[in-house]
Chain A
Amino acid sequence: MADRGESELVAKLRAGDEQAFGALVDRYHAAMRRLARTFVSSDAAADEVVQDTWLVVLAGIAKFEERSSFKTWLFRILVNRARTKGTREARTVPMSAFAADDDRDGAPAVDPSRFDQRGMWSAPPERWNAETPEKLVLRQELVAALEQAIRELPERQRTVVVLRDVLELTSDEVCNVLELEETNQRVLLHRARSRLREMLEDYRKH
């Protein structure tokens, strides 16, 4: 999966090349930050997770064998660090905020009241305005609302949808990073996407 440029950078990093390290940091920092932010509740905490991750990478790069791609390895370290930190943070958050997670993983894609008894649409999706995704993301209030909706997803759904759709990893890569079964990954992705479509529907009605 890794492109050649990346393998070269990783080889150079292993040889102690500072520029290669800088280039890898520039390549992945924003993505790592976004991923970390799905586990912890503040930007500052996310930055800490990212910093920690790079230090673990530096400590382990000599032993990194390219059995998985560098990206997968990097993100897996990050997820482990972020989970530990997220769990520590969670002690100060009421448990009820997490209890509902599993239930919601099994929720239907669309509110059942929008179908009739035969399972056909009684309240079909409203047509969306013709704005392209490129244009849409220039609207700050929409981006903020979408980010908020992502944050409100149960953790497992949130992590999967961020990796797959925001950071655009392949489904194999996501399963690798999160140590998930493919079918499981797909169910979580489905719930998350369905919920986010629903949220966008409110924004994009004619």
Chain B
Amino acid sequence: MLTCREVTELATDYVEGGTLFGQRVSVWMHLSMCKHCRGYLRQYRDTIATLGRLPDEPAPPECRDELMRRFRERKP
């Protein structure tokens, strides 16, 4: 039986699908009995989803203008 601490260390392997089958089964068994670890993994996935939605900062338009100028200059 895995401990909660072990489950937190397997979180990335688990959500990435990188664990061996036997280990996956152990995690499932643990999760079926432990709401704290279910909560932990939910938060873990939530963190990943939040990172994927961080807004982009728009680049200053001068950067693009400068690049286009350099592009034209280099043209033979």
Contact = CB atoms under 8 A, between A and B. Distances in A.
A125 B47 CA distance: 13
B12 A58 contact: no
Contact of A109 (B11, B70, B72): B11
Contact of B57 (A30, A112, A189): A30
Question: Binding site of B, secondary structure by majority: helix, strand, loop or mixed?
Answer: helix
Nearest to A183: B18
A54 B64 CA distance: 11
Contacts of A60: none
B36 A121 contact: yes
A128 B43 contact: yes
Contact of B59 (A47, A58, A108): A47
A2 interface: no
Residue picked from A26, A115, A193, A196, most chain B C-beta under 10 Å: A193
Contacts of A120: 3-5
Contact of B51 (A16, A161, A190): A161
A31 B56 contact: yes
Contact of A193 (B5, B47, B75): B47
A30 B59 contact: yes
Contact of A197 (B9, B37, B43, B55): B43
Given A16-B75, A119-B3, A133-B53, A47 B18 contact: no
Contact of B39 (A34, A124, A143, A190): A124
A165 B48 contact: yes
A137 B6 contact: no
A197 B70 contact: no
B39 A127 contact: yes
Interface of A: 16, 18, 21-22, 25-26, 29-31, 33-34, 43, 47, 50-51, 54-55, 58, 108-110, 112, 115, 118-121, 124-125, 127-128, 133-134, 136-137, 143, 146-147, 161, 165-166, 168, 171, 186, 189-190, 193-194, 196-197, 200-201
11 contacts: A18-B71, A18-B72, A21-B68, A47-B63, A51-B67, A110-B5, A124-B36, A127-B39, A136-B53, A190-B9, A194-B11
Interface of B: 3-6, 8-9, 11-13, 16, 18, 36-37, 39-40, 43-44, 46-60, 63-64, 66-68, 70-72, 74-75
Which 8 residue pairs are nearest across A and B when measured between Cβ atoms?
A: A119-B3, A124-B36, A190-B12, A30-B56, A165-B51, A119-B5, A133-B49, A133-B50
